[in-house]
Chains A and B, each alone.
Chain A
């Protein structure tokens, strides 16, 4: 029986349901110490003194001078600007300065380190900071000529706040001295990112092994920051000679680690009276924080998605990631696209309103179709499903009739149309040159990839693809734990690429393995001939042409498409808006595992509803002031509405069994759908999270 397309039992299901699965904090190594990070309490300035106000007996104390001679004080990622430990200059609150380790956690936590500073005036406003981390421009046609031609021009500014990932398992790693170097066991999305960062810390010749332990959620939040924590644990382990465990508590995790970039997006759109869009001018500012980290890639994806899934011959997009003296913002599911898609979809409803057009009619007229070109000039083919998802969502919810029926009540209904590019942008996948490996075992076959299981179902979905490609039972496929000494580098587990890209490499490995086995089962072949391995490298579609300088060409191998419909209810006394019904129609090629795919959509939708309505990071003096789950609220069972999830098939020829990427798509739609539902209540909100304060302000200014 084929495994693909059926909801087979997930490989890691029973371990998780019985509590037997071990996560980073569940591991104990002999003579292990606990580690702790002493951080800056100011946003900008210089360290002038460090005082240890405790009995240091039994403590291991590390500062920047303990960086190995062969290494550098740099967390290697895109730019070499972020140090593991402050030398003198402090650029943001909660920046690591000193590390402590001790065998006893209570003693460790009771230690007091006093840091003295010379303060400088911090920059907190990305619009006025003046320091650009990365800028980009996308140009198509002539935007000013398009504006001159337009009958109506609609302008607007849209804002999104920080968002905290709130994986339920906080960040944590253990560094263990091994082979004269270090082994990291930790809650990690990208083991080879950590390896690269530790090479910069320890020198290229150092022994470094990175093992991913079971990971309690990631959502992008364990993409880059685990490199920092791993470096800290390594420094303490090297100095003490003991294994060192660093597990952040929730407050430290919220204050110190990355968040979604806040954004300010300005739109100016020229339309004809008949509704055709003739010019789109978009300006994006995101707050990068104090170091470059991944901001260039976030503004890139944000910029490419900023014009929305619409045809327009004259488009200008400008994007800037700005420096501020705040903890660096980073990867978060969607990676810039949820911000810019919120802005364009909230704006599109306002454009339709200005023309007195129905929002569905307006979208139907302008939605991208096969043969159309995107803002970067990519010609879409048959894998463009904008109209299909829109029409199904409208039909399914009886949208127009419902909109009429709710008029004048405390309920509103709104929709959002969106798309999400799968895999790395442009030539990124070519540069990554990801690899995957299959190895015969005495009973079947083992998958060796660095793609991590972080809850989304990597192991299960990869095993399904391999089982069907080899024609063997799903149960005969096992998946190795990601360990950089054992698995090839399959690229990071990000960008909705684990199924579409790594799954595709595995499919090619499996096809070749099947040919080499001939008529033998894996077990028979292994018994007769012994071990057999197949390693393959990703081959991106040959037609992809991308120019990094002009930001033009084929930005992504393919796109997934979605249309979300939100029905909300407002409490006219408290100004609280609650989602009451949610419909998500999404096309991502083919669902390898329908139940897991549905889980991605439901979970991404809930996270998107939090982004839209609840999740407000309060920044004070450059740091998160509400860093606890009491004061930063994510959706509970009582905040999530009934969900109707519809999966449309449209197999993509270069994906395994037709699959595209799915992980990020579901978080793009909820925020604009909700804001458009609030607009249906005649409340003009252009900022999220739309907390009661924001909704009240919008009502009061009417």
Chain B
């Protein structure tokens, strides 16, 4: 199975029906992608395939073949969203944060607060009540505008 992972050509030996989540975490050793529920409800395992958020616990690795997969590690460690999630306390326990940051990275710059709510509706956070996450996204946009 070959796909592009965070910009680099990657080949994995996993069974085609293996969960992309397990392949990323256990074969590619990228543990920034988290498992919260295993049924696509919480969004903690969100990654991007060709720039579109998907829940990697419901994606067989076969579906990634030939596509571009981006995990939180693919954003590097100097992305404006990462700094603002840190500065605005948008991350508390941090387990939902990789998924939140990845989805946030796909939200258009002109999105309204309601649009942001809709975009993040598939990502559960139990710590923040989401308000600090909105603040982080808004601040990151101001900084890059």
Contact = CB atoms under 8 A, between A and B. Distances in A.
A599 B132 contact: yes
Interface in B22-48: 25, 30-39, 41-42, 44
A631 to B, nearest CB: 9
Given A14-B77, A17-B83, A168-B124, A214 B94 contact: yes
A630 interface: yes
Nearest to B134: A637
Contacts of A643: 129, 131
Interface string B60-99: 0000000000011101110001110111111111111110
A638 B121 contact: yes
A250 to B, nearest CB: 4
A168 B41 contact: no
Which among B73, B75, B121, B128 has the highest number of chain A CB atoms within 10 Å? B128
A207 to B, nearest CB: 29
Given A14-B82, A19-B98, A595-B89, A629 B124 contact: yes
A575 to B, nearest CB: 22
A7 B84 CA distance: 13
A585 to B, nearest CB: 16
Interface residues of A, number: 56
30 contacts: A7-B89, A9-B86, A9-B87, A12-B94, A13-B87, A15-B94, A16-B94, A17-B86, A17-B101, A19-B72, A19-B73, A20-B77, A23-B31, A23-B34, A167-B95, A167-B126, A215-B93, A250-B36, A454-B93, A455-B94, A595-B132, A598-B132, A599-B89, A599-B128, A602-B129, A602-B131, A603-B92, A607-B129, A629-B42, A637-B123
Which among B72, B92, B116 has the highest number of chain A CB atoms within 10 Å? B92
Interface residues of B, number: 54
Interface in B101-144: 101, 116-118, 120-132
B105 to A, nearest CB: 12
A18 B130 contact: no
Nearest to B82: A17
A249 interface: yes
Contacts of A606: 128-130
A22 B34 CA distance: 10
A292 interface: no
A607 B126 contact: yes
Contacts of B35: 25
Interface in A14-52: 14-23, 25-26
Nearest to A638: B121
Nearest to B22: A105
Given A16-B91, A19-B31, A19-B32, A634 B126 contact: yes
A58 to B, nearest CB: 19
A634 B124 contact: yes
Given A17-B94, A25-B34, 16 more contacts: A9-B87, A10-B86, A16-B85, A16-B93, A18-B72, A23-B34, A166-B126, A167-B95, A169-B93, A249-B38, A455-B92, A602-B128, A602-B132, A606-B128, A628-B37, A636-B121
Contacts of B117: 637-638
Contacts of A169: 34, 36, 93, 95
A599 B126 CA distance: 11
A170 B72 contact: no
A640 B92 contact: no
A190 to B, nearest CB: 16
Interface string A601-612: 011111100000
A22 B86 CA distance: 17
Nearest to A15: B94
A482 to B, nearest CB: 15
A518 to B, nearest CB: 36
Interface of A: 7, 9-10, 12-23, 25-26, 165-170, 214-219, 249-250, 454-457, 595-596, 598-599, 602-607, 628-630, 634-638, 640, 643, 645
Contacts of B86: 9-10, 13-14, 16-17
Given A26-B31, A629-B39, A636-B121, A216 B129 contact: no
Nearest to A629: B41
B89 A216 contact: no
A19 B35 CA distance: 13
Closest 10 CB pairs of A and B: A19-B32, A455-B93, A16-B94, A216-B95, A13-B86, A606-B129, A19-B72, A602-B129, A455-B92, A629-B41
B29 to A, nearest CB: 9
B49 to A, nearest CB: 17
A595 B32 contact: no
Interface of B: 25, 30-39, 41-42, 44, 71-73, 75-77, 81-83, 85-98, 101, 116-118, 120-132
B37 A216 contact: no
A18 B32 contact: yes
B15 to A, nearest CB: 10
A602 B121 CA distance: 17
A5 to B, nearest CB: 15
B92 to A, nearest CB: 4
Contact of B42 (A13, A26, A168, A599): A168
B144 to A, nearest CB: 16
Contacts of B87: 7, 9, 13
A216 B42 CA distance: 13
Nearest to A250: B37
A605 B96 contact: no
Contacts of A216: 34, 93-95
Contacts of B129: 599, 602-607, 635, 640, 643
A288 B129 CA distance: 29
A637 B89 contact: no
Contact of B125 (A10, A168, A628): A168
Nearest to A631: B41
A218 B25 CA distance: 23
Nearest to B119: A637
Nearest to A628: B39
A219 B127 CA distance: 9
A481 B83 CA distance: 23
Contacts of B42: 168, 629
Contacts of B132: 595, 598-599, 602
A283 B29 CA distance: 55
A330 B102 CA distance: 35
A26 B35 CA distance: 10
Nearest to A14: B86
B46 to A, nearest CB: 11
A94 B85 CA distance: 39
Contacts of A17: 81-83, 85-86, 90-91, 94, 97, 101
Contacts of A595: 88-89, 132
A603 B130 CA distance: 8
Nearest to B88: A595
Contact of B120 (A602, A637, A645): A637
Contacts of B118: 637-638
Contacts of A21: 94
A216 B94 CA distance: 6
Contacts of B75: 18
Contacts of B122: 636
Given A628-B37, A628-B41, A13 B85 contact: yes
B72 to A, nearest CB: 4
A105 to B, nearest CB: 9
A26 B26 CA distance: 9
A630 B73 CA distance: 28
B7 to A, nearest CB: 16
A10 B92 CA distance: 9
Nearest to B30: A19
